[in-house]
Amino acid sequence: MYLVHVRLDGPADVPLPCGAATLLMDCAAPDDGLEHVSVDPDDAGGPVLGLFLVASSLAVAERVAATVCTRALAAHSPLAPFRMASCGVVLIPEYWDVLAAPSPLDEIGHNMFRPPDSSSGATGDLAE
């Protein structure tokens, strides 16, 4: 499952309509894989819709989210003042920082995330 964020732009004096999540759910086709929509109407950069999608890949999830959002903006007049400013999965830098950091070592200097290298010449096959 992917969480795709869709940021909307609209007039500052027009709030996102109540029920925006339902309007998006109504515009999803059965095979779109849309499971849930969350709404943050008061985000500093404009309203944000969180679309939870079951998809075969990140690219598919982002494409489906954009398609569903485009359908909803065109089909429902309460959403007419808004346009899609961005659509994508938010990357979490802390996750990548951990992956890029050196692996921790145990008390005798072995990498805690990988088995020690075998210098015995073994092929990795189990003895019979």
Assess contact for 111 and 105: CB atoms under 8 A.
yes
The candidate with the shortest Cα–Cα distance to 64, out of 22, 7, 2, is: 2
Residue of higher predicted confidence among 128 and 9: 9
Q: What is the mean pLDDT of residues 77-102?
A: 82
pLDDT of 128 reads 47
pLDDT at 99: 65
Residue 105: pLDDT band by 50, 70, 90 thresholds? low
Contact between residue 73 and residue 79 where contact means Cβ atoms under 8 Å apart? yes
pTM of the model: 0.70
Write the pLDDT tens digit of every residue in 23-77: 999 999 999 999 999 999 888 888 999 999 999 999 999 999 999 999 999 999 9
Residues 35, 54 contacting (CB under 8 angstroms): yes
Q: Which of the four pLDDT bands, split at 50, 70 and 90, describes residue 113?
A: low
